[in-house]
Structure 1
Amino acid sequence: MDKNAKIYVAGHKGLVGCAITNQLIKQGYNNIILKSSKELDLRDQTAVKHFFEKEKPEYVFLAAAKVGGILANNLYPADFIRDNLMIQTNVIDSSYQNNVKRLLFLGSSCIYPKFAPQPIQEEYLLTGELEQTNEPYAIAKIAGLKMCTSYNRQYNTNYISVMPTNLYGPNDNFDLNNSHVLPALIRKIHEAKMKNSKEVEIWGTGSPRREFLYVDDMADACIFIMQNDAPLNILELINIGTGQDIPIKELAELIRQVVGFNGELYFNTEKPDGTPRKLLDVSRLSKLGWKYNVSLKEGIERTYAWYLNKENTNV
């Protein structure tokens, strides 16, 4: 990408979109198009069509999506499949109609089968049943990446899909009703500390293992892939992660240490665990020369510092 190339970051106020935008600016890109959801509803086909016809972006980072944790996916399955299908379809098709040079679609590791062999290779897609708690969201994401590959086949476009592991960092969602596990644990343990509670409840047994990637590393990987000139069959579907995972129980203990909470961690085994393990095989990306930089402990420290600053700002 030329430094003056016109780049549209869809979802720039979200966790990943914000990090991608900041990283692009840091790397010297100075022609970035940003539209909030109030300015441009990506579910509105006509609005998206007119936006692309007017702006004519050369590159698109499709980071906009409706996202949430186990609770949100259970409560709002129709919203998750509907909104994500609409967003993806509108942006991908308008990119084709307006000759976008390259589009990067942000997927999710939940697209892979619940009991996929570990670590999960890109080739395991559609080889088994999905995790039921987030199936509507996963199906929407699978449809998005298949739409990208289908457009590549039929229209000779240059659309790539990245499948990140669990992401976290500044601008994350800390709402206990619809957040992911790491920010939810930060908030719950922080609030328990503030209330001098003796214990904090955590869903599940604590045994499931998860992989976590700091969002600035994710943004760096996305730009690295967007700039990469490897063959399309390599970039068309590519995992992004650290290649390392940790049990939820150890994650909670690490967060307790960072937060400074002295109470007990109570694991409610009547609550769902979700997928037993979800570790991505990142050898395809590693062979291209990319590796993460921020350790889990350092990432949690940065995220907690951002959360505290946000809490103090809102007081």
Structure 2
Amino acid sequence: MSIAVIGAGAFGTALAIALSTNGDRVALWARDADAVAQMTASRENTRRLAGVTFPDSLDVTARLQDVFACDVVLLAIPAQTLRGFLEEHRDALQGKALVSCCKGIDIETGHGPTDLIARIVPNSTPAMLTGPSFAADIARGLPTALTLACAHEAAGEMLQAVLSTPTLRLYRTTDVAGAQLGGALKNVMAIACGACMGAGFGESARAALMTRGFAEMKRLAAAFDGDPDTLAGLSGFGDLALTCTSDQSRNYRYGFAIGAGTDFDSTVTVEGAATAKAVSKLAEKLKIDLPICAVVTRLVDQEITAQQAMQLLLSRPLKEE
């Protein structure tokens, strides 16, 4: 079965490298023709994932027709650009298995990645690949486990078999709502934890944020009939633990810069910033209490400082856990 990866950022490149080690040819699409030429000549992505050589079975292309000829298409593009890409190419994507590899909530519609796929490309098989993973680890063949979420069980079994590798182990679920919300909200919590550490509040405060943040993740997922067990798995707790504790996480680094009052590279995609705003809109509409998401939204909008955010959380009414 032919596989393509749309998006030659660090994560898309890492997935293409890992999948091409299975012996199948994999097409990696990049929008920038110069970047394609560089990767083709050097056989590595020096801009995003330097030091990892491409397998011979990985083909880099700037031609979308090469991608649209494949059966399985992994969408490794930012969450806030996914809707536009799907709308632009909906006809060419019909009938394919479309696997979202981004984690976020569309700020305009409030939909998650698989929801967008199902609505915009109805004659396709929507799925999502999510869980605790850094691009460098996947690309270098370090052992990684992820969640493959697909509402159609038979299609999920097929994708699990096609996308698993000797070092990339996929666990399957039909709980798409839980998986996509876990992946989205953990980025918001990573910003909160980064701000906590950047401001010097300490490890105990971070542990509290992670725990109460996990409660918010479960609360929102329940409103969409997500299974609590899904949130306790790789796509929820597992991803939360990784991104809230490592400076390899872009969302964590972004939050750390906010807490420390330092500059952050504006060219780096931080999915949690837009997701915090999208989730806050959802929470208001559904009347769900998500205080950490709310203060992260205000931090991102520069309405409050990390010190004010922590004071807002600490001054909330006392209650049972």
**How would you bin the TM-score normalised by the shorter chain?**
0.3 to 0.5
Kindly indicate which of the two structures has a greater share of residues assigned to helix: 2
TM-score when normalising by structure 2? 0.39
TM-score when normalising by structure 1? 0.39
Q: Which has the higher contact order (CA 8 A, sep 6+)?
A: 1
